Amino acid sequence: MSKYDPLWAAIMTHEEPSFRLTFDEIRQVLGFEIDHSFLNYKKELLPFGYQVGKISLKEQTVQFLKSTS
């Protein structure tokens, strides 16, 4: 079990091919702030049919993209 499982479950409720979540929205789902370790955990999302796109520190958003394969 991963500390990011609640986020992956929330992402699975989206049907859009691409969407963004703010760092605050992610914090609300997880109960903690994302940190540098997120970069290591993001590969866990691939089996769920999504991947992490652009992470914008300036806008404080993470883009999620539906995998095409």
Looking at the chain, the whole-number percentage of residues with pLDDT higher than 70 is: 99
What is the reported pLDDT for 53?
Answer: 95
Whole domain around residue 19: which residue ranges?
Answer: 5-66
What is the reported pLDDT for 69?
Answer: 60
Condensed to tens digits (0 to 9), the pLDDT of residues 24-43 reads 999 999 999 999 999 999 99
State how many domains the chain has. Answer: 1
What is the reported pLDDT for 66?
Answer: 94
Q: Do 10 and 53 contact (CB within 8 A), yes or no?
A: no
DSSP characters over 6-67: HHHHHHTT--SSEEEEEHHHHHHHHSS---TTHHHHGGGGGGGTEEEEEEETTTTEEEEEE-
